Amino acid sequence: MEHLGKSPINWTESDVSAWLNSIGVKEQYIKKLHEEEVDGQTLLTLTDDFLKTAICMKSGPAHLIIQKRDALLNSQRKKQPTSGKSSEMEQKKSVERPRTQEHSEVPLRDKDNSTERQTVPKECVLPSKEDCKPRPFDDEGHDFIYVKHRVLQPESGAFNLISPCHEYKSFAIAATLDRTRLQAKFAKEVFKFATGCMNIRSNGTIHFGVMDSKENEGYVHGEIIGIPVKERDIYVDALDLSEKSFRSDKEQVLQCVRPPRFIEVMDRESTEKRYVVEVDILPLLSIVKNKVYAVRLPNFKEATNKLEFEKEVILRRVGSKTEPVTDKDLGDFYQRVKDRDAQRDEAEKQQFLFAPEICQDLGRKLTMLLTSGKKFIAKDKWFILVTNKFKSVDLSNIDWLLNMNIFCVFDFDPDSKVSGLCSRYLEHHAANMHFLQSYRMPAGMSIKEFTNHLHLFEQTSWIFCNGRSDFIGNETACDEMTWIKTKMTFLRESVFLICKQILPKGTFQVIFLLTSPVEKPLLHTFYEFFTDMEGHEDIICICESEENYLKWQSFAESSCRKDAVNNSSIVGMKMSHINATLQHVQPVKAHVKKHLPVFVKGTCFLETQIEEQMYSLEILTVNHCEESTKEFIKEEKENIERQFYRGGRVTWLNFWLAEHKYVNEVIERDAYYETSKLLNNALKCNIDQTPVNCINIYHHPGSGGSTVARQVLWHNRKDLRCAVVKPYPTSVVAQHAVELREYEEKDHQKCLPVLLLLEDTDKEYLDDLRNELEVAVNIKRIQYGTLCFILLSCRRSHNPERRCKESPLQNVSVTHKLSDQEKRKFAGKLEALKKRYAPEFILTFVLMSEGFSQGYIQDFVKHLLQDIDQKSVVTRLIHYVALLNTYVQNSFISQSHCEALLSLTVHLERFHQHAFESLLSDQAKLVFLHLRDDKTHIESIRIIHPLVAKEILQQLLGDKQTQSRLAMDLLCEEVLFEHRFGREEYQTFLRQLFLRRSRISKGDEYDSFFSPLIEHVCDNEKNPNEAIELLKEAFERFHQDPFFAQQLARLHYTFERFEEAKHWAETAAKQQPNNSYILDTKGQVYRKWFQAKCKAIENEGKPKTAQNTVDAVETALKALECFQECERAAEADMEDVNSSGFFSEVEVGCSLLKLISSLPVFANQTNGHAECMKYLLTDYIPEELDRAWEPFHSRLKKLHNTMQDALEWISEDLSYFQTDIGVEDETHERAEEKISHPLTWLAKKSAEYGKYFSEADSAVLLQQCQTFESKFTPFQKRMIIYYLGGGNIISILSKLTDQKDAARRLEHILTLYPSNPLKAKFTQRDIVNYVAAHISLNCLSPQPQKADPLKELQALCRQFPSDKKKCLPSALFLLTILFWPEDHDTEQERESKFEIVHSAVEHLEKDYWAKMKDIPQRKRRIYTHFFLGNGNGLDKFVHKRKFDKITKGFSVSEKRLKWLSGEAWKSPEIDTMLKRVSGWTEDRVVYLEGPKKRKFNILPLFVPSVPHGNENITFYLGFTFRGPVACNILVKK
């Protein structure tokens, strides 16, 4: 390092960067300091504060830099001027220092991280090159590979005659020579070495492409470089020169000299292929006995330019060299031939003579270690593999590994992906390639997010611990010491994360599979696992070579007892034997191929790694479960059946066992046949078939809905492709579903439909998935009418029958109540089961047979809880589980949490489950159901059935204890709350217990305002204070979570404790200032407070005055302010639409207007109303209000404008979207006050707003409108129009639905407009409302006296701004309708209209996307207001409500389905009313012909209906706020 010689003050930016790198500062900070031009001079002035603020550095590295800088300056001051020699000595010492460290085996965990980095800067150390072993002697070496720059052991002489001596030749120049010269050089070296070896009877190998001396600068002796080999036969044929080199013994020589082996040299930085060429010499005694070999070495003479043979010479190996035998020694050499033969003979015999040792039963030991003493390896146990380089022969014996659940592999073989275990594993399974640093968890990320991010539970994580040779990024292998310095911290973090936060103790085993010599990093890995697993119980070591094991053993014994190490180690067992032994105790057979059905009625193989890549689906194959071994089935069948009838979820093995008559059949309930019938109907060919069909199973909790759904999948697995959807984003599921559909099919148009089961997903998820699949089908251009996917949704509901009645063509119900036929089936089955199991072991089935009658459950629980120890910790656990299971659907507590509560620390981990169960009381054993997570295999418990949980809770608590007290105990149970494993799930359930409201749409019994527990405490226990205390405790427990503060605000205002409500609402808003739902709650606090204050004034019975209403007015204005804040936050939120602020602002505004107009100053006088309007609309302030309301005047005078803006926003919003809210179309975080019928609400509130700001009452307006017309100002007329329901486009259009007196009202509205509208100074909104009123009136009574003809309305619309950016969306919408060309238009008229419509549509599209933000596709349903009819003029506009009776009586979702599928369009009424328009498609885009052959793009309302080819089509034309749309597209015959 150049900077070492300089004083720090003279350092450049680069010198500073190099120094920072040497002390271990992160690259990102080094880069930043370099960018900020920090040189030596600046470095000396750096402060802690500067590093933290300017460089954004964390405290740790900032502190390190300051400390190191100061230490460096101190050392500089102490230094005396030194000569060059002494500085050279210093450098020498610094190079030697790592060696001394190498021998100090202090466990790295005990060293400070910073001291790890304080070792010598990398640049000071001579680069050390990794050692490597030569190819095994006389081995073909097909699977062997050398890595460039690795170093072989130094050249050696004869050792024991069998271990080969080695000689290296760089051959760098010779390899580039022509054929003749190269062969001469190669043969000379081989024959020279071979003769030397044969004459001393020693095995040997000569290596070409390996550095043979240190003279080559930059290389070390034995370093592998490799040589280019253009033609291998050049080297092979070179040995033919033996004909002339050996006179008489050439055949024997060629028997001893093996053919050249070409070992590839891997070099990541070069694409050129290089090899080490090796020749083995094997002088077997049977060949060389009594012989001495002389050789004439070939040599190419440049002088004569030809190949010549040197004088004959006898050679021998002396040390690491080959030398000629001198004339002086020749006699002695010949005499000692017999001695050398005798030594060779002895060496060859010794090679095969080893006394057999007494061997322990390694097979039994191995199976006991891996099965934890059981008969089979647990199906759901995770294994972590730690391994190094595999031998090629071992790679063909890894079937036992392929059948195991391998969570991750710590692989120390950098070549594993190229030629090692990883490459072989990937042939059978999917795996994700990671490095140790991949396990460094980013700040703020939860464990669940992290495991999802790395897909840890879906596919094996393959961690390359010491570089990866095929990786293009900078991940190279390093020597032991460098590894310890650079990778040790990452290793420690990754092991800690896995053992302490991801996998609980007892759920996994670590196998150290040592297939090659053990190096230090592997030993450190053992130490990390040993420490974090708190012992050796679940660590197993498998090692074939005793030599390799010794190093491991000596290290392991420094951490734990010798017998513990030996008892957990399998030493000396070949991989092939391990493979055969372990396959006997695995529950599944090796290499069982899975089958999927195909379109042409055969089957195809499903490759395991492809299946694992579709990780969001649990794919059900034709031969599912057939991989299970007979032994496993025989052993486990009873347990599997009993677990199901006790209340466990049905598994595929339950069906398989029944199908193969191992157990009796699983009862098929009536709902199974109903669902099958709906499925068969969906599968029938139908030209109007939608590509994605949906069948819903609604079931009472615990009534067997999931069993019915899975039965449907099981019985259709041979005809459809079936899968269960796992909890993943819909985009991922859709991608995998499409891959499953098309897997191994030739034609994407001809594939079997995919039947997907979704369990307990909400409507939003189902709609999103449906939408994603429709988009995918579209992109794939699947023929319209082809059924591609069937979504079988299985969801909880407290009223399944009601759901079934709502939509009988889509929904099936499963209830606790059994039909007569089902009762007979269940009674028969129960008798059969009772012969084999005691009733308590098939409890859920018994309850089911009794129809879950309340009396039976009560008696059962009463009997169960007799003699229970109320004070025991197990009973406390039952309390907690019962509370959670009663109120939180699908809740459980992990076994790890339970053990923590029971203070279970089992040292004998292999019998962990047994130890846990032995601690449970008899009652707990009966009611607790043990579950395993399908994904993580982590164990948990819940009570066998929610109804049993509810009854247990009631009877256990009795009259003495309350649920609120129990909930408080649970909340304060430190052990459970802080327990690491499963913390996220546990805390989620706890949050739901206090926060989640009941929703009928989510399967609950009723809609609640608070969580059912909080409502129980308030209503049943009559103790709101306790409910408040519970939420306060939860707020603190969950680190002052703002959503608990929000609930506290709501709870307080419900009980009219407004000061506290205000405090909690502000607390929540402070933490989440941009959350529109929390801001809405804050507004609701003031709204309810305002209502309470108004009520109090009324109750006082005193006359209202400015003084006694100040407080109420102030509160109302504060509420309005909060709702406006909520509106701004909602507008800014790109992922959600929350309109609650606008609705609430109007509500509060109307209430405030009511209060103002009721004041004596405005109510008692004859002109009181006029006085009120004067106050609100002008600068006028009545004397009575002047002082008292001084702070409010300016805000009250804006009231009419802000309310009008809010009403307009709501009107516009309803113009875009479906205007009916279905039961299931609710948002996750709902606003406080849900508006169920927004159209009706808007009409009512618009009228109320108009009434407050207009003069006369309704009777006068309706009866004598024309009389008063002249008296009104334009503003007053506008307000009367508002009052009559003509204030915005949606209120006007809603008159078409609510037809009572609508025509008369519209006529009255039109009389209030000037008689000559073209000359009136209309605003944009006035024109919109005027035109909309005319169109609506025409729809209601086609020959009205007051409706203007079309041309006059068109002329009026030309007054809209020419710059369409300034036009309201409603104005643009009317332009598309009114200027839609007619058949009788001239070419000029058509062109003019086309331009207007085209420009309007362009801007409507922009407005639409601005409105839509990033909300999900399912929420973007555009509403079609009018269709193009067969009439002329205004008669050509047909409102949608005209043909609503066609789908009358169906649910919202069924209506939508009928329109989309095309079924509803076939009605004769529609054919009479609507006009079919001709167009064409190009690449799935719909076009109409504009003037001069110009294309006009029309949006299809239902994209899948667009034909794939380029076709002539006809369709109905609809008008929306996004532009014209094409409906019911048909190809022209």
Q: Which helix (DSSP H) or strand (DSSP E) does residue 813 occupy?
A: strand 811-814
Residue 409 phi/psi, 5° resolution? Answer: -125, 125
Listing DSSP states for 384-432 in one string gives: EEEE-PPPHHHHTT-HHHHTS-EEEEEE--TTHHHHSHHHHHTTTS-EE
Q: In this structure, what DSSP letter does residue 430 have? A: -
pLDDT single digits (tens) 1398-1436: 999 999 888 888 877 766 665 666 788 899 998 888 888
Counting Cα atoms < 13 Å in the Cβ hemisphere of 340 gives 24
Q: What pLDDT, on the 0 to 100 scale, is given for residue 555?
A: 65
Q: Which residue has the tokens 């391990």?
A: 578
Task: Give pLDDT < 50 ranges for the chain.
Answer: 80-127, 143, 905-911, 1219-1231, 1258-1259, 1262, 1264-1268, 1344-1347
Edge-to-edge strand ranges of the sheet holding 789-796: 617-620, 721-725, 754-759, 789-796, 692-699, 811-814
1471-1488 as b/e: b if 16+ CB within 10 A: eebbbeeebbbeebebbb
Structural Rg of the chain based on CA atoms: 43
Contact 237, 183 (CB under 8 A): yes
pLDDT, position 103: 36
How, if at all, do strands 811-814 and 594-597 pair? unpaired
Q: Structure tokens of 1113?
A: 């007015």
Question: What single-letter amino acid sits at 1464?
Answer: A
pLDDT, position 1171: 83
* Pairwise CA distance, residues 1239 & 683, whole Å: 39
CA 274 vs. chain centroid, Å, equals 44
For 714, the 3-state DSSP assignment is helix
Phi, psi of 1267 (to 5 degrees): -60, -40
624: helix, strand or coil: coil
Give pLDDT, residue 353: 66
Question: Which class for 867: exposed (0-12), middle (13-18), buried (19 or more C-beta within 10 A)?
Answer: exposed
Helical segments of 1072-1105, H only: 1076-1100
**Residue 1240 in contact with residue 1261, Cβ under 8 Å?**
no
How many other CB atoms are found less than 10 A from the CB of residue 181? Answer: 14
Q: What is the structure's pLDDT at 620?
A: 95
1074 φ, ψ (degrees, to nearest 5)? -110, 10
Residue 931 phi, psi dihedral angles, 5° rounding: -115, 155
Residue 280's alpha-carbon distances to 185, 193, 245, 277, 1283, in angstroms, are 17, 10, 18, 10, 106
Instruction: From residue 111, give the alpha-carbon distance in Å to each of 104, 301, 525.
Output: 12, 64, 16
- The reported pLDDT for the residue numbered 77 is 65
Q: Would you state the pLDDT for residue 764?
A: 85
**C-alpha angle 42-45-48 in degrees, rounded to nearest 5:** 115
First to last CA, the chain: 83
Structure confidence at residue 5 (pLDDT): 61
User: 697 near 572, Cβ under 8 Å?
Assistant: no
d(CA 373, CA 381): 14
Distances in Å between the alpha carbon of 1025 and those of 958, 1030, 1032? 21, 9, 10
Q: What's the CA gap between 1466 and 793, in Å, rounded?
A: 29
Alpha-carbon distance of 886 to 880, in angstroms, equals 10
Which residue type is seen at 909? E
Beta bridge partners of 95: none
Tokens of 1448: 């009358």
Q: What are phi and psi of 649, to 5 degrees?
A: -70, 145
* Three-state secondary-structure class, residue 1225: coil
Q: List, in sequence order, every beta strand (DSSP E) within 136-217.
A: 146-147, 165-169, 204-208
3-state secondary structure of 295: strand
Nearest residue to 1223 via CA among 773, 706, 811, 1501:
811
Tokens describing residue 28: 């990102």
Distance CA 273, CA 271 (A): 6
Strand 165-169 relative to strand 594-597: parallel, antiparallel, unpaired? Answer: unpaired
Residue 177: strand, helix, or coil: coil
317 has which bridge partners?
Answer: 322
> What is the tens place of the pLDDT at every residue in 169-192?
999 888 989 999 999 999 999 999
Do 98 and 481 form a contact (C-beta atoms < 8 A)? Answer: yes
The stretches of 1358-1449 forming alpha helices (DSSP H) are 1369-1378, 1387-1412
Write phi, then psi, for 481 (nearest 5 degrees). Answer: -70, -40
Cα separation values, 1222 from 388, 731, 1000, 1461, Å: 60, 25, 12, 20
Asked if 212 and 118 count as a contact pair (C-beta separation under 8 A), the reply is: no
The reported pLDDT for the residue numbered 1259 is 43
Tokens representing 1417 are: 């596709």
